[in-house]
Amino acid sequence: MTFLYTICYDVFVTIKRLQTFGGCFYLAEPKAYLIRKGGWMSEKDVTLRREVFREDLEQLLKWVEDSDVNRYLNEQQGVGENLRNAIIKSPNSLFTHRLNQEGRFFLVEDADDEQPIGYLRLVNKATEGEIVVAIGEKDKWGQGLGKSSLWEGLKVAFFNMRLDGLYAKIHRKNKRSMNLFKKLGFQPLGETEKEKIFYLSQDKFLELAVS
C-alpha cells in the first residue's frame, strides 16, 4: 500500500523509537517526524508563498474589495486603501516586507497550477498569534481549500514560529468558518458584539496531529 507523507521539522517532542500510532509513522530521531496524509489532515492541495509581487497586490485588492469576499473578513478598516498605496508608492522589492511587518503573510496557491487563490496571515502577539485565512477566488469555494490552507498555516505557526497558541476572530454570521476552525481543534474562548473568538494551543494541535 502506498502512503503520502509530509515531513515536519523542529517539533517540540522527542521521539525515542520508531513506532506507529493513529495512522502516523514516526522517525526514530528527535525533531522530525512523518505524518501520513489523509484522515484528520487533508491532502496538500495548496501551497503557501511568502514572496509578493505587484500583480499579487492587485489580486489582493480585488479580493478585499469584493463584497462577497470581505463581508465576513476579519481585516482592519482601510486595508484596500493601504494596498492601493502600496501598489502606487512601493518599489517591487518592498512588497513582501510591507505585508510581513506584523507577522507572516502568505499567498495561498493552488498546488495544481500555482495560481494565487487567497491569502493567510499569522500576526505575532508575543508567544501567541492570530490567524486569518481567506480564499478570494470564489470559483474555488466549497472544494476544501480553506481547510488545506488553515492546516498549512498551523504547521507554520507551531512547527516554524513555535507559537504557544493561536487565536481566530470570526464574524458571528460566518458559520462555515466557525465549523472549519472547530474541525481543526479550535475551541470557543469568548465573543464580542461582532465576533466569536476561538483558540488552539500548541499542545492541542500536536495531540490532534497524531490522533
Encode the chain (211 residues) as per-residue pLDDT tens digits.
333 334 343 334 433 333 333 444 333 333 333 343 334 444 568 999 999 998 998 898 899 888 888 888 766 544 656 667 666 666 766 778 878 888 899 999 999 889 999 999 999 888 999 999 999 999 999 999 999 999 999 999 999 999 999 999 999 999 999 999 999 999 999 999 989 999 999 999 999 888 7
15 and 113 inside one domain: no
Decide: pTM greater than 0.85. no
Helix (H) or strand (E) holding 128: strand 128-135
27 and 53 inside one domain: no
Please give the full DSSP string across 91-117, using - where no structure is assigned: -GGGHHHHHTTTEEEEEEEETTT--EE
29 and 101 inside one domain: no
Residue range(s) defining the domain that contains residue 1: 1-39
Task: Put residue 39 in one of left, alpha, beta given phi > 0 → left and psi -120 to 50 → alpha.
Answer: left
CA dihedral angle for residue 172, residue 176, residue 178, residue 184, rounded to 10 degrees: -170
CATH number of 119's domain: 3.40.630.30
105 and 27 inside one domain: no
Residues of the chain by 3-state class (helix, strand, coil), percent to 5: 35, 30, 35
Q: What are phi and psi of 68, to 5 degrees?
A: -70, -35
90 and 182 inside one domain: yes
174 and 91 inside one domain: yes
Q: How far apart are CA 148 and CA 197, in angstroms?
A: 21
19 and 69 inside one domain: no
23 and 80 inside one domain: no
Structural domain count of the chain: 2
9 and 92 inside one domain: no
91 and 107 inside one domain: yes
Q: How far apart are CA 26 and CA 179, in angstroms?
A: 30
